[in-house]
């Protein structure tokens, strides 16, 4: 039966115990435990269909049909694979949409400045490029100063060059805001580049966990980086020869 | 020498005439043909009065004030009918679009009723409300209700679920979701419905004014029919067209303001 055990914690950013989630007979998440410390950058890595996006949706409180206990920081924000800006609101109004009270232009501009989008604050979202829209979406997520930022494959729809800039931007924003981040991705290199801790998810369980102790900003040609990437690919079941 | 793809060799660009001029060509040709046919005697005055007669009739009816009176009577019928019909449509679409109970209670009967041709109700409306202005207003209100209701309902239900989810993660309340996500998403459809409704309103006015009207454009037409005054009839038809056009222009302006966020394809 569906139970809703969402409680809000002030200690950690996320605390999940014995989480189970099924779609019909198919168990997508099995007895999953997860802890994320305040300020920690965790990357959830997995092939498509492994349950990683489902887990993120549960943490975002978009799916309550679960069993187990889930505690998530009250102030949390989500940025999706597609930017999901309201096309009928100018960019700056999109950024402050969730804030209480009257739309605060100054606050929107400050958030847009962090992502380098000040010059685009007064345009309609439909005229933004993919990378710009994703940056606006990040500004919208961060404007409320969340304790937990949930990112669902935010770079996967971007072209390779834009993706590199966007990854660097997320790293900078994380350093600036010091919020906990859970980033869901299937990109191994991205996970090693950004994470404090990489979790490899497979068949609804966390199959492997790796701490990334490399100094930031990380160099993809560093032998330790290459080795860790190979290790994680191995855990994903992709051999590198 | 390199010649650009868009240019023609020799540096001379062919100038296109302005589009408004191009659009005006076919109506002008038609009116000219009508005039020539009348002058040449191919078109009898009793079949169709020549355009010159229509113009002089217009001058006559304007100078004695009959035309203004008729336009005012017809326009206020359409205006009131639209007001009541559209208000009811918006309320009904909101209730059935936003609440599942509302859909079951309101949408099901409306879907059944919409298949009934509205003008078929004229005899019943005369029995219930007589032959005054009341049945005319009700007829127009009923006619304009359905197009707006159906489109607005579809628009509300067609809201992108991804945007609703995004709104939820931003912490919007139910009311906030309706105001910032669902209603703006339904506006494009709603405007399509509004255009249909306004088009239908003039159509139904023509029918409504055949119910023993003593004022209005329809009254002028009926009276002219008695005396075979084809000039008056044509004049009234032109009036209907002009009034319909004005209504359409108003909706288009509304679209330009409300849908400014939508990049539109204007054709080449």
pLDDT digits (tens, 9 = 90+) for A30-53: 999 999 999 999 999 998 888 899
User: DSSP string spanning B91-146?
Assistant: HHHHHHHH-HHHIIIIIHHHHHHTTS-GGGGHHHHHHHHTTSHHHHHHHHHHHHHH
Q: Among all residues of chain B, which has the CA nearest to that of A125?
A: B261
Residues of B in contact with A78 (CB under 8 A): 166, 169
pLDDT digits (tens, 9 = 90+) for B78-89: 999 999 999 999
User: What is the nearest CA distance from A53 to chain B, expressed in angstroms?
Assistant: 14
pLDDT of residue B151 exceeding 50, the answer is yes
pLDDT of residue A210 exceeding 50, the answer is yes
Contact B187 A88 (CB under 8 A): yes
> Which of A54, A76, A87, A88 is the mutation pick for testing B, counting most B CBs within 10 A?
A88
pLDDT at B268: 44
Nearest Cα to Cα of residue B204 among B54, B112, B85, B88: B85
How many CA atoms does the CB half-sphere of A116 hold within 13 Å? 11
Q: How far is CA B70 from CA B156, B214, B215, in A?
A: 39, 9, 6
pLDDT band for position A9 (cuts 50, 70, 90)? very low
Pick the CATH number of B51-158+190-258 from 3.40.50.300, 1.10.3720.10, 1.10.10.1110, 1.20.140.10: 1.10.3720.10
Q: Among all residues of chain B, which has the CA nearest to that of A78?
A: B169
Query: Cβ atoms within 10 A of the Cβ of B20, count?
Result: 7
Contact A82 B162 (CB under 8 A): yes
Gap between the Cα atoms of A140 and B171, Å rounded: 12
pLDDT of residue B198 exceeding 50, the answer is yes
Residues of A in contact with B181 (CB under 8 A): 86
Any idea what the Cα angle at residue A166 is, between residues A162 and A169, rounded to 5°?
Answer: 145
Average pLDDT value for residue range B171-199:
93
pLDDT of residue A139 exceeding 60, the answer is yes
Q: Among all residues of chain A, which has the CA nearest to that of B186?
A: A88
Gap between the Cα atoms of A11 and B219, Å rounded: 79
Residues of A in contact with B257 (CB under 8 A): none
Crossing angle of helices B183-208 and B217-226, rounded to 10°: 30
pLDDT digits (tens, 9 = 90+) for B49-72: 888 888 999 999 999 998 999 999
Write out the residues of chain A at the interface with chain B, using a CB-CB cutoff of 8 A.
60-62, 77-78, 80, 82, 84, 86-89, 97-98, 124-127, 140, 144
Q: Output B3 or B33, whichever has higher pLDDT.
A: B33
- Would you list the domain boundaries of chain B? 51-158+190-258
Residues of B in contact with A127 (CB under 8 A): 263
Gap between the Cα atoms of A190 and B159, Å rounded: 33
Contact B185 A88 (CB under 8 A): yes
pLDDT band for position B213 (cuts 50, 70, 90)? confident
Q: Among all residues of chain A, which has the CA nearest to that of B263?
A: A126
Residues of A in contact with B164 (CB under 8 A): none
CB pairs < 8 Å spanning A and B:
51
pLDDT at B13: 62
Q: Is the ipTM of this complex over 0.90?
A: no
Residues of B in contact with A87 (CB under 8 A): 261-262
Residues of A in contact with B168 (CB under 8 A): 61-62
pLDDT of residue A3 exceeding 50, the answer is no
Q: How far is CA A231 from CA A39, A107, A222, A240, in A?
A: 25, 43, 14, 9
Residues of B in contact with A60 (CB under 8 A): 169
Contact A80 B263 (CB under 8 A): no
Span between the terminal Cα atoms of chain A, in Å: 46
- Give the pairing of strands A76-79 and A148-152: parallel
Nearest CB partner across the interface for B170, out of A87, A88, A97: A97
Gap between the Cα atoms of B2 and B184, Å rounded: 50
pLDDT of residue B5 exceeding 70, the answer is no
pLDDT at B119: 87
Contact A126 B262 (CB under 8 A): yes
Lowest mean pLDDT among A194-198, A232-236, B205-209: B205-209
% residues pLDDT > 90 (chain B) = 50
User: What is the nearest CA distance from B244 to chain A, expressed in angstroms?
Assistant: 29
């Amino acid at each position: 039966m569906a139970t809703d055990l969402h409680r809000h914690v002030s200690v950690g950013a996320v605390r999940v115990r014995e989480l189970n989630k099924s779609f019909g007979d198919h168990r997508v998440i099995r007895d999953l435990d997860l802890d994320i410390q305040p300020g920690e950058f965790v990357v959830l890595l997995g092939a498509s269909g492994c349950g990683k996006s489902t887990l993120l949706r549960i943490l975002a409180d978009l799916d309550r049909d679960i069993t187990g206990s889930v505690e998530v920081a009250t102030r949390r924000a989500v940025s999706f694979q597609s930017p999901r800006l309201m096309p009928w609101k100018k960019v700056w109004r999109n950024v402050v949409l969730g804030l209480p009270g009257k739309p605060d232009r100054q606050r929107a501009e400050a958030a847009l400045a962090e992502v380098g989008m000040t010059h685009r604050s007064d345009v309609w979202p439909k005229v933004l490029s993919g990378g710009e829209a994703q940056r606006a979406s990040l500004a919208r997520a961060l404007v409320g100063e969340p304790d937990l930022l949930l990112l669902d494959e935010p770079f996967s729809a971007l072209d390779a060059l834009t993706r590199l800039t966007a990854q660097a931007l997320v790293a900078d924003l994380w350093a600036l805001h010091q919020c906990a981040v859970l980033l869901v991705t299937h990109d191994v290199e991205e996970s090693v580049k950004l994470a404090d801790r990489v979790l490899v998810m497979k068949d609804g369980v966390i199959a492997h966990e790796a701490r990334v102790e490399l100094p930031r900003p990380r160099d993809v040609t560093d032998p330790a980086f290459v080795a860790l990437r190979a290790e994680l690919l191995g855990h994903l079941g992709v051999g590198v020869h | 020498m390199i010649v650009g793809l868009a240019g023609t060799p020799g540096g001379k660009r062919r100038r296109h005439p302005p589009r408004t001029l191009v659009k005006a060509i076919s109506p002008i040709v038609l009116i000219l043909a009508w005039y020539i046919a009348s002058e040449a005697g191919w078109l009898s005055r009793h079949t169709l009065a020549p355009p010159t007669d229509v113009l002089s009739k217009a001058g006559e009816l304007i100078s004695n004030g009959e035309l203004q009176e008729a336009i005012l009577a017809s326009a206020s019928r359409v205006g009131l009918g639209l007001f009541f019909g559209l208000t009811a449509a918006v309320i009904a679409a909101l209730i059935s679009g936003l609440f599942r109970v509302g859909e079951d209670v309101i949408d099901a009967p409306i879907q059944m009723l919409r298949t009934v041709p509205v003008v078929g109700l004229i005899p019943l409306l005369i029995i219930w409300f007589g032959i005054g202005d009341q049945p005319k207003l009700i007829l127009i209100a009923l006619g304009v209700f359905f197009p707006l209701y159906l489109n607005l309902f579809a628009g509300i239900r067609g809201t992108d679920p991804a945007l609703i989810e995004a709104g939820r993660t931003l912490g919007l309340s139910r009311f906030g979701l309706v105001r910032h996500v669902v209603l703006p998403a339904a506006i494009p459809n709603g405007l399509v419905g509004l255009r249909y409704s306004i088009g239908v309103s003039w159509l139904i006015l023509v029918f409504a004014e055949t119910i023993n009207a003593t004022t209005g454009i329809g009254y002028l037409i009926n009276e002219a029919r008695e005396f075979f005054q084809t000039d008056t009839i044509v004049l009234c038809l032109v009036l209907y067209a002009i009034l319909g056009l004005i209504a359409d222009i108003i909706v288009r302006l509304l679209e330009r303001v409300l849908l400014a966020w939508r990049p539109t394809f204007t054709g080449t």
